């Protein structure tokens, strides 16, 4: 794989994951849920930085990413008898709780008797060996520094994902796929404004190839196709599809030229495209350069990606299952490498297609995908009580294991192929 292909893969992967996880991240932040970590990649940490209560990390394996939120299973605890160094703000609220035994910086030693960092946000204990018990209040954004020096913000109950309403959790879980759709639309628009001319998919002929069936039948550039064999035609794609389905049977095409409606009989010819037989009459859709035309092209392109991906997903569930219908990180790398050899615009189109694919796949109601979480949120919203927790945890566990096994099998298949 060339350096260009490697860079293209890194950029495509980073954009796909970053947009998806940013959707979860920003909505969680806006709804008051603590975001502990925003990660691109999985596995060992390569580097990270900490800002505004969130650790931003880049990890080794390009197989996804995640947003880790504050939860009932992920909050710091202090035990009776533990000695910590505390720092307070000017209002007397504890803002730093340092568990390192050899600390000598600012602050004071405090021996814990009781600690509540979830609801009351208070510490009771003894300062600097005093025998007078004190009660100190803790700031909701206080940091705990563990024995290794790692900083972690405390997570009061109000900041847990479980404490958010079902509607807020629904918004958080939907935000990831939605941001993938936004990325696809952005890619389509950049593509539209980067091309010299764009096809708006209107049934207007831009070029009629000489000596081909359409030209010999008398069709000309700028003719607007109205119908094929009596079937109304709204787009050039629809027109081309009807021509291809007709095979080598004669077609009666109604068209408009200079405001006058005419009809003509055309017989398609067979040609081989990438080893597949198809039929054509020798016409090309009209291309435009206007601003509105480019906007329309971008929207049309995005819609076509949804159609292609939707059909592919439907095929997974309505026909015989095969690993060959699936692709993992290796397939992504291969596709990106091939696209990079064809230029920037091809990579851009691949990015848009893959972003729609990632968004729609994640909306499938399969735990632990976003769609599975959305199902649980909708259940709680509709029935006014949570889905049985034990059952939900069991389903999520089974789904997680199944997806991990599937990922391993797909990756192995891709490695054997490529």
Q: Which residues contact 213 (CB under 8 A, 6 or more apart)?
A: 266, 267, 268, 269, 281, 282
DSSP assigned state of 386: P
Rounded-to-integer distance, Cα 42 and Cα 403, Å: 15
Rounded-to-integer distance, Cα 82 and Cα 78, Å: 7
Rounded-to-integer distance, Cα 2 and Cα 129, Å: 65
CA 314 to each of CA 17, 64, 373: distance values in angstroms, whole numbers, following the listed order: 24, 23, 21
Rounded-to-integer distance, Cα 170 and Cα 172, Å: 5
Does 105 qualify as catalytic in the annotation?
Answer: no
Residue with tokens 């999985």: 42
Rounded-to-integer distance, Cα 304 and Cα 51, Å: 40
Which H/E stretch holds residue 64? strand 54-69
Which H/E stretch holds residue 85? strand 83-88
Catalytic residues: 21
């Amino acid at each position: 794989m060339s350096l260009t292909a490697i860079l293209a893969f890194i950029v495509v992967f980073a954009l796909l994951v970053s947009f998806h996880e940013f959707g979860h991240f920003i909505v969680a932040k806006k709804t008051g849920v603590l975001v502990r970590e925003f990660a691109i990649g999985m596995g060992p940490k390569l580097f990270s930085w900490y800002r505004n209560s969130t650790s931003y990390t880049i990890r080794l394996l390009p197989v996804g990413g995640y947003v880790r939120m504050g939860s009932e299973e992920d909050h710091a605890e202090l035990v009776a008898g533990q000695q910590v160094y505390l720092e307070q703000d000017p209002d007397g609220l504890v803002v730093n709780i340092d568990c390192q035994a050899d600390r000598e910086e600012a602050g004071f030693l405090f021996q814990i008797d009781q600690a509540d960092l979830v609801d009351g946000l208070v510490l009771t204990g003894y300062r600097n060996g005093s025998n007078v018990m004190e009660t100190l209040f803790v700031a909701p954004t206080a940091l705990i520094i563990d024995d290794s020096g790692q900083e972690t913000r405390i997570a009061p109950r109000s900041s847990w994902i479980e404490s958010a309403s079902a509607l807020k959790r629904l918004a958080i879980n939907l935000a990831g796929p939605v941001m993938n759709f936004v990325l696809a639309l952005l890619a389509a628009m950049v593509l539209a404004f980067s091309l010299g001319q764009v096809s708006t998919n209107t049934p207007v002929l831009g070029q009629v190839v000489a000596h081909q069936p359409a030209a010999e039948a008398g069709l000309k550039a700028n003719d607007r196709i109205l119908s094929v064999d009596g079937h109304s035609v709204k787009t050039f794609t629809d027109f081309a599809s009807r021509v291809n389905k007709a095979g080598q049977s004669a077609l009666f095409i109604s068209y408009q030229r200079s405001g006058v409606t005419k009809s003509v009989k055309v017989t398609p010819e067979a040609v081989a495209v990438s080893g597949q037989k198809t039929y054509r009459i020798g016409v090309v859709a009209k291309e435009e350069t206007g601003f509105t035309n480019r906007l329309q092209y971008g929207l049309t392109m995005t819609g076509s990606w949804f159609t292609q991906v939707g059909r592919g997903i439907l095929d997974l569930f309505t026909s015989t299952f095969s690993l060959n219908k699936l692709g993992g990180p290796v397939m992504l790398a291969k596709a990106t490498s091939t696209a990079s050899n064809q230029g920037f615009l091809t990579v851009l189109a691949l990015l848009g297609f893959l972003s729609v694919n990632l968004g729609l796949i994640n909306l499938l109601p399969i735990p632990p995908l976003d769609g599975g979480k959305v199902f649980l949120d909708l259940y709680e919203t509709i029935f006014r009580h949570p889905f049985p927790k034990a059952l939900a945890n069991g389903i999520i566990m089974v789904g997680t294991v199944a997806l991990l096994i599937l990922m391993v099998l797909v990756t192995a298949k891709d490695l054997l192929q490529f």
